[in-house]
Structure 1
């Protein structure tokens, strides 16, 4: 693992159709050639939706009581999810990385128990303004990260390329692949490695006015500034901010939400582009895991 002055970088590449991973891959090449440890985590919501539709089903998204939107993953959807994420996207991105000269190793959260926690079989949602419990869910909240496995790969010169699903522990002791949010997976990895987390997405960061790119919030270093970021985040951005607070609470030194399609997107984020949130913003703040417990049950990669 890198020394204390150069923590590893965990990069989450968004799964939106508008996100091109080419710039991030080029940056990973530069960082690893300079001796920086990098772990890549990816989502893939668009491709998962396409796979579900090709199988004759309809993607279903639900909203938690606190307004976070995520995928409802029943048994059939989980099969499509695993096909798309671990079977197709992870293999493709690993191949792209290797073609660029990165010694990449593709892994899912199930491999080596990298990402593990109890399966959630029911979720709390809001439908037509009413709170309901939906059963038949296949998702989980990450409670452990096999950081030793990742650290070992990094020490041997490999760049892990990681995606959901995670290892979901059933009440009878068995383990099954389940959905988990890719942003929060990246946060868990960053916390486990005491890393810097870069969440790349299809916008430049968190906007004070979500409809106005000129209102980019550049940093949050105090609890009051973090509250402003949390208040401004809407839709899927809310989960990125949630992931940021979880990563910082678990040991990450800072989190940056930045534009995946910018020139040199990772390096630009490390140099101050996007929205940077530091651990000082958590001082006197409530524990993220306690204040957002029900949100852990609504996932989307």
Structure 2
């Protein structure tokens, strides 16, 4: 006996999104904080597996900030971040290689494989996927400050080009690329590159339908201390206003720049979704209401219409 007049209503609602997004590219960036807890990481992998099972084409990019901080602590290396971005000395770069292309990367691949995803690990160095140059010293103004200061970020790479051939080759054989945010220079140098920046550049180069950031918070918040102040829909203009008001701090600042780059580069929409809330990614994709924040170039979506 059915327990409701239409027990399959949710399935029917999800089906229209499955049809809409079939064969479309979704770039999913997993934050380091999401990956640190094995249960949270496994749950994220299971959601990505469901997207793949529905013939959505995911590409995964991961960070590793907390794990890298822990390793730097153990190695007695200084941890310095300015405007949400890490200052990377030669020893810190070696630590980043160990984390981003080592244990964290392998554990993520193993969890994806366990969820049924044929994942293949890469870094931006593989086959010249992400070409970069060393970032020159830049002027940085912190929120609340009126004067900026020159910051040398060290061995950090600014992306010059993205060559997606190796990614497309893997995807043509139905593999799911999983990419660590290391980039390569023309001279063979290796650079640490912000994972949000890598995800946005890849999403634009792959003409992705959507770019997802799985983060610790529910989404973009008007008040960072109040999880109930979620902004469900925002535009590039809204992002600029929040940044000007000093509401985007820490790691949200590079995310804002990454979102802007992705949307200007042709990505359909960018989503900030909780990586710790059960099935938040699936809710954002397959329901009208969503679970987090959808960011678009302009306001094509009116109140009461679907976010997806």
Q: How does the TM-score come out when normalised to structure 1?
A: 0.82
- Aligned-residue offset at 1:105: 0.2
* Candidates 32, 36, 41, aligned match of 2:61: 41
* Candidates 158, 162, 170, aligned match of 1:141: 158
Q: How do 1:43-192 residues align onto structure 2 when only pairs under 5 Å count?
A: 43-62=63-82, 68-125=83-140, 131-135=148-152, 137-169=154-186, 174-192=187-205
Measured on the aligned residues, the alpha-carbon RMSD in Å equals 2.5
Specify the structure having the higher radius of gyration (Cα).
2
Which position in structure 1 is the counterpart of 2:15?
A: none
Question: For 2:20 and 2:266, how far apart are their aligned partners in 1?
Answer: 13
Q: How many residues align?
A: 271
Q: Is the 8 A contact 2:84 2:252 kept in 1?
A: no
Cα distance change, pair 15–281 in 1 and its aligned pair in 2 (3 A):
farther
- Aligned-residue offset at 1:242: 1.5
Question: For 1:188 and 1:197, how far apart are their aligned partners in 2?
Answer: 10
- Aligned-residue offset at 1:80: 0.8
Which position in structure 1 is the counterpart of 2:12?
A: none
- Aligned-residue offset at 1:35: 1.1
Which position in structure 1 is the counterpart of 2:295?
A: 277
User: Which has more strand, going by share of residues?
Assistant: 1
Question: What are the Cα deviations for residues 163-189 of structure 1, in whole angstroms up to 9, with x where unaligned?
Answer: 1111134xxxx1211011101111111
Cα distance change, pair 226–59 in 1 and its aligned pair in 2 (3 A):
closer
Task: Confirm or deny that 1:15 pairs with 2:32.
Answer: yes
Cα distance change, pair 28–185 in 1 and its aligned pair in 2 (3 A):
same
* Candidates 246, 252, 256, aligned match of 2:271: 256
Which position in structure 2 is the counterpart of 1:297?
A: none
Which position in structure 1 is the counterpart of 2:207?
A: 194
- Aligned-residue offset at 1:126: 6.1
Look up the SS of the partner of 2:156 in the other structure: strand
Look up the SS of the partner of 1:59 in the other structure: coil
> Which has the higher relative contact order, 1 or 2, with Cα contacts under 8 A spaced 6 or more apart?
1
Question: For 1:36 and 1:179, how far apart are their aligned partners in 2?
Answer: 29
Structure 1, unaligned runs of 5 or more: 63-67, 283-301
Question: For 2:151 and 2:249, how far apart are their aligned partners in 1?
Answer: 23
Q: Is the 8 A contact 1:139 1:168 kept in 2?
A: no
* Candidates 26, 38, 41, aligned match of 2:46: 26
Cα distance change, pair 136–228 in 1 and its aligned pair in 2 (3 A):
closer
* Candidates 225, 234, 256, aligned match of 1:211: 225
User: More deviation in 49-58 or 245-254?
Assistant: 49-58
- Aligned-residue offset at 1:134: 4.5
Look up the SS of the partner of 1:269 in the other structure: helix
Cα distance change, pair 281–235 in 1 and its aligned pair in 2 (3 A):
farther
Look up the SS of the partner of 2:228 in the other structure: helix
- Aligned-residue offset at 1:281: 6.0
Q: Is the 8 A contact 2:197 2:258 kept in 1?
A: yes
Question: For 2:150 and 2:248, how far apart are their aligned partners in 1?
Answer: 25
Structure 2, unaligned runs of 5 or more: 1-18, 301-308
